[in-house]
Amino acid sequence: MNCIQKVWLVILLSIGMGRGAIAQQADSISIRVAAVLNPPNDTARSQALRYLAAQKDPATFPLLAAINDKKLYTLDGKPVTTGEGETSGGKEVFTVFYLYPQNKPAATKLPAEQLQKVEISRSERLILNVVLPYLNLTSHDPQKRIMAYGQLVDAKDTGKIALLEKALKQETDPGALTAGREVLFQLKLNETASEHQAKAYIDSLDQNWGENVGLILKNYAEKGNVVSARAYAAEKVKSLESLQGRIEKAQNLFSGISLGSILILIALGLAIVYGLAGIINMAHGEFLMIGAYTTYCMQSLLIETLGVKSDLYFWVSLPASFVVAGVFGLVLEKLVIRHLYARPLESLLATWGVSLIMVQTARSIFGDLTAVKAPAFLAGGWQLMPHLVLPFNRLFIIGLTIVVVSLTYLMLYRSRLGIRIRAVTQNRTMSACLGVETRRVDAITFFLGSGLAGLAGCAMTLIGNVVPDMGQTYIVDSFLVVVTGGVGKIAGAIVSGLGIGFLTKVLESFYEAVYGKVLILALIVIFLQFKPRGLFPDKGRIAED
């Protein structure tokens, strides 16, 4: 009892030092809060709760929310609630949040025994029903706060503007602030009767540029209170829409580039292998699938089995998917491909069979759908301007592609291995005569090509699910990249990969995805009329038959 009284004093002192009427109000609230925690008689708690519910002061919302969640405790006499629990040193400890007068987390995590639970009966909790819609205004989760702001729009409560203003004063999250302000301006705009004010609010809405501003202004332009301000709203809607159109285009351009980078990663290996050995590897897409499943396995191994809770698994997966896919490629080369050199049509059919087997195997091992958790450091995006966010995962894919393409270039044009690969590509027999071990070069090239596809698969897990036939979605596209780029040419794969990825996204924004695909095919056929051997054909006059 003594202890509680001390707290009382502390609370009274800390609040009492405030100013004027607000301080007095806070004062009376503090008294009610204390009464809730420790009621002097049977009815005092219900009375206090009724008072708090009627006041609708955002400062008390965390406390009321904790009561509503049946998670109100006291710690040294102060009202607290618990957050996420976790096990540390064999004991379960919780994050503790102080609720009143300030809403803030405690410095240390505490076990549940150190907290005293405050039991509040159901009938007492029911008193809070009138404030329930507003409790989330002070939630710790910005998403919940945004939802709470949104709910205020339709709330039938005269004090809601004042309440919202109070809540917004404490708002720290920029996204939630924008959403809250939007609601505030909307409410004010709908209430005001003066043209001057209405225009000012429309301007504020426009500058605030929240999620629904277009809709709000459009509604106002049609049936706003102030008839003379309607045209102004319509004008703003128009300028907003054109701005949004431009942003959408930029977004499309960006996703086109990232789709293009994936195509490049796949087509690079394909182009090198085809140029070198005349192999059409229909199972190339399945190495993509293997890379993706390697990432998935690494994630389960590191996170679930070894308990490493960090993004380490992703950094391990990158080389692992390269190596695993490469080794599979090597095995395939030894078993099947080696017998099919320079017989492209036969290799196409045989590798198609291989791809059937691999897809079916993956399906029977992993089932139909698995997802890889995107690593935390790639969550979110780079905000260039409001509403134009470049997701980090796509940026990462683009970056990865740039690195991989540069490495491949260095490998092909600046290393001994590269000179051998190019020699065998140009003239296999001559290279063999000059002492190049063509079989070994073939095997290494196949390893590298499959590894590149595996890497692409690892990158794919960042933007999509892992399914057994994920490779087949990309294989035809990536062959088109090889065809338009010219066989065995890095530059060809890059230019046509970017071009096709880019065109796909641009056409998709005009037409449905399907018609975009048909149009691209038509464009490629037309393009091949003029450049039948791709963008960068081999120079030379070797007879074709």
Partner 1 sequence: MGNKKDFGWYACCIALFLIILPLGNVLGFVSGNTISLWGRYFCFAIVALGVDLIWGYTGILSMCQAFFFCLGGYSVAMHIVLRGATALGINGIPMPDFMAWNQVESLPFFWVPFQSFGLAVVLGLLIPAAFALVFGYFIFRSRIRGVYMAIITQALALAMWLIFLRNETMLGGTNGLTDFKTLLGLSLSTPGVKLGLYLLSLLTLGIAFWLSTKLVDSKFGKVLQAIRDSESRTSYTAYRVMHYKLAIFIVAALLAAVAGMLYAPQTGIITPGRMDVRASVEMVMWVAIGGRGKLKGAILGSLIVNFLYSICTSLFPDSWLFILGFLFIITVLYFDKGLLGMLETVVAKLGRMRKPAAEPTGREVMQP
336 binds partner 1 (CB under 8 A): yes
Minimum distance from CB of 541 to partner 1 (Å)? 12
Q: Does 354 bind partner 1 (CB under 8 A)?
A: yes
Q: What angle do CA 371, 294, 255 make, to 5 degrees?
A: 55
Q: Interface residues for partner 1 in 504-543 (CB under 8 A)?
A: 512, 514-515, 517-518, 521, 524-526, 528-530, 532, 543
In the complex with partner 1, the residue whose CB is nearer, 369 or 514, is 514
Q: Give the tokens for residue 51.
A: 């008072």
CA atoms within 13 A on the CB side of 128: 24
Contact predicate 351/283, CB 8 Å? yes
DSSP string, 2-40: HHHHHHHHHHHHHHHTS-HHHHHHHHHHHHHHHHHHS-S
Q: Which of 209, 208, 212, 237 is nearest to 222 (CA)?
A: 237
Write down the least CB distance from residue 341 to partner 1, Å.
Answer: 12
**DSSP secondary structure, 115-152, as one string:** SEE----HHHHHGGGGTHHHHGGG-SSHHHHHHHHHHH
> What HEC string does 417-442 produce?
HHHHHHHHHHCHHHHHHCCCCHHHHH
Q: How far is the CB of 437 from partner 1 (least distance, A)?
A: 23
CA distances to 123, 148, 157, 198 from 168, rounded to whole Å, are 31, 12, 17, 21
CB of 532 to partner 1, least distance (A): 4
- Collapsing DSSP to helix, strand or coil, 354 comes out as helix
Closest to partner 1 by CB, 198 vs 482, is 482
For residues 341 and 457, is the Cβ–Cβ distance under 8 A? no
Q: Which is nearer to partner 1, 102 or 361 (CB)?
A: 361
Judged by beta carbon, residue 21 or residue 525, the one nearer partner 1 is: 525
Q: Looking at 98, 352, 366, 409, which residue binds partner 1 (CB under 8 A)?
A: 352
Question: Cβ of residue 503: shortest distance to partner 1, in angstroms?
Answer: 14
Nearer to partner 1, 357 or 410 (CB): 357
* Residues 37, 15: Cα–Cα separation, whole Å: 17
Taking the least distance from each CB to partner 1, the nearer of 132 and 349 is 349
The verdict on 1 binding partner 1 (CB under 8 A) reads no
Structure tokens of 214? 């277009």
Mapping DSSP to helix (H, G, I), strand (E, B) and coil, where does residue 279 land? Answer: coil
Interacting stretch for partner 1, rule CB under 8 A, among 17-25, 206-214, 429-437, 475-483?
475-483
Region near partner 1 per CB under 8 A, out of 16-24, 252-260, 295-303, 356-364: 356-364
Local structure of residue 372 (DSSP, 8 states): P
Q: Is 334 in the site for partner 1 (CB under 8 A)?
A: no
List the one residue from 23, 130, 349, 379 that touches partner 1 (CB under 8 A).
349
Binding to partner 1 by residue 344, rule CB under 8 A? yes
CA distances 164 to 67, 147, 148, 160, 168, Å, are 22, 13, 10, 6, 6
Shortest reach from residue 346's CB to partner 1, in Å: 5
Q: Measuring CA to CA, how many Å separate 36 from each of 47, 72, 109, 133, 492?
A: 9, 11, 25, 21, 74
- Contact flag: residue 430 with partner 1 (CB under 8 A): no
Segment interacting with partner 1 (CB under 8 A) among 39-47, 308-316, 342-350, 389-397: 342-350
Kindly tell me which of 179 and 481 has the beta carbon lying closer to partner 1: 481
In whole angstroms, the minimum distance from the beta carbon of 456 to partner 1 comes to: 19
Structure tokens given for 14: 């800390």
Binding mask 44-83 for partner 1 (x = CB under 8 A): ----------------------------------------
* Residue 84 buriedness (CB in 10 A; 0-12 / 13-18 / 19+): exposed
- What mask, x for binding partner 1 by CB under 8 A, covers residues 269 to 308? -----x-----x----------------------------
Output phi, psi for 171, to 5 deg: -70, 135
Does 544 engage in binding with partner 1 (CB under 8 A)?
yes
Residue 451's nearest CA partner among 408, 503, 513 is 408
Residue selected from 353, 399, 464, 537 as contacting partner 1 according to rule CB under 8 A = 353
Residue 33 to residue 188: CA distance in whole angstroms = 32
Residue closer to partner 1 by CB (options 108, 530) is 530
268 binds partner 1 (CB under 8 A): no
Q: Report, in Å, the least distance between residue 524 CB and partner 1.
A: 7
For partner 1, the closer CB: 252 or 472? 472
Binding mask 357-396 for partner 1 (x = CB under 8 A): x-xxx--x--------------------------------
Q: How far is the CB of 511 from partner 1 (least distance, A)?
A: 12
Exactly one of 92, 165, 235, 346 binds partner 1 (CB under 8 A); which one?
346
Q: Report the interface residues with partner 1, using CB under 8 A.
A: 274, 280, 336, 339-340, 344-350, 352-357, 359-361, 364, 472, 476, 479-480, 482-483, 512, 514-515, 517-518, 521, 524-526, 528-530, 532, 543-545
